[in-house]
């Protein structure tokens, strides 16, 4: 199975990108591998909980407006394709599907598959985005990525990283998380939260299809507790919502209920 997730770039000022207001609501609440790209720019991989419904395109627009800096997000589906949205405060907008071609994508994109762009116009749009970001783009690599000639790797996440590099960003350095979400001390609640997340997502899906979920899809108080704990745990990774000691105390409190 390939990689699913969103690669997000923004310039959040003094904040860490995962903790920037509105980012979790727009793209999802699980963050991995945060990179400092210098000059205030950051890149992070984002994954929504199953129960979350990200607002991908609107989120990019809102992030660019809130930070007064260009923003870009690429949702990758099973390492095979990507939906890329890029915005700038001055109004530049790019919506492109990679591979950039006319045939329909076999993967489900919640906000629909962007239509194909003329490669030359796509390159010019990305160059304008990079210029507003104060970067020095590489037109040849941009043309290879959006024109279908880039064949360095079969994985779409690598193509997105090549696009980001072609926009003028360095690989950056990884910013270590403040909390390890895979800490064995939290394993029991993470397992319960995973199962509760799947059940909550199924209930939401039933409602979205116009049906009424049965009582068997109602979550128990313990399941609700596990979901809240998982949200606090993820928010603590880069934003400092709780220390490890506070998270352990919360685990003990929930276990005693």
pLDDT in tens, 148-201: 776 767 899 999 999 999 999 999 999 999 999 889 999 888 899 999 999 999
CB distance 26 to 46 below 8 Å: no
Q: Taking 80 as the threshold, does the pLDDT of residue 122 lie above it? A: yes
Q: Between the CA of residue 57 and those of 29, 39, 96, 165, 173, what are the distances in Å? A: 16, 25, 11, 22, 27
**Cα–Cα dist 46/32, whole Å:** 7
Binning pLDDT at 50, 70 and 90, where does residue 217 land? very high
Structure tokens at 205: 């899906």
Q: What is the pLDDT of residue 219?
A: 95
Q: Between the CA of residue 29 and those of 131, 222, 250, what are the distances in Å? A: 30, 20, 19
| Core vs surface per residue 173-209: b (16+ CB within 10 A) or e | eebebebebeeeebeebbebbeebbebbbebbeeeee
The Cβ-side half-sphere exposure at 15, using a 13 Å CA radius, reads 14
Q: Taking 70 as the threshold, does the pLDDT of residue 18 lie above it? A: yes
Q: What is the pLDDT of residue 233?
A: 93
Q: What is the pLDDT of residue 255?
A: 78
Per the confidence metrics, is the pTM higher than 0.85?
Answer: yes
Structure tokens at 183: 């800490």
Q: Environment class of residue 68 by beta-carbon count within 10 Å: exposed (0-12), middle (13-18) or buried (19+)?
A: exposed
**Cα–Cα dist 213/216, whole Å:** 8
Average pLDDT over the chain, rounded to an integer = 92
Q: Taking 70 as the threshold, does the pLDDT of residue 227 lie above it? A: yes
């Amino acid at each position: 199975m390939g990689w699913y997730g969103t690669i997000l770039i923004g310039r959040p000022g003094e904040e860490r990108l995962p903790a920037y207001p509105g980012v979790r609501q727009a793209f999802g609440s699980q963050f991995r591998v945060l990179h400092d790209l210098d000059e205030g720019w950051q890149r992070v991989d984002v994954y929504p909980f199953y129960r979350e419904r990200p607002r991908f395109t609107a989120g990019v627009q809102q992030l660019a407006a809130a930070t007064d800096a260009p923003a870009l997000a690429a949702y990758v589906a099973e390492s095979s394709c990507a939906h890329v949205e890029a915005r700038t405060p001055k109004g530049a907008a790019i919506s492109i599907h990679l591979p950039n071609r006319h045939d329909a994508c076999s993967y489900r994109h919640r906000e629909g598959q962007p239509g194909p762009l003329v490669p030359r116009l796509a390159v010019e749009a990305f160059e304008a985005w990079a210029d507003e970001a104060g970067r020095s783009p590489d037109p040849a690599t941009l043309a290879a990525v959006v024109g279908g000639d880039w064949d360095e790797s079969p994985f779409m996440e690598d193509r997105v990283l090549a696009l980001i590099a072609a926009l003028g960003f360095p690989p950056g350095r990884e910013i270590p998380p403040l909390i390890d979400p895979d800490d064995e001390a939290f394993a029991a609640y993470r397992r319960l939260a995973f199962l509760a997340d799947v059940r909550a997502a199924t209930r939401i899906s039933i409602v979205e299809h116009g049906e009424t979920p049965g009582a068997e899809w109602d979550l128990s108080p313990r399941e609700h507790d596990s979901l809240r704990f998982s949200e606090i745990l993820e928010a603590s990774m880069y934003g400092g919502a709780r220390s490890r000691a506070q998270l352990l105390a919360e685990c003990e409190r929930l276990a005693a209920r």
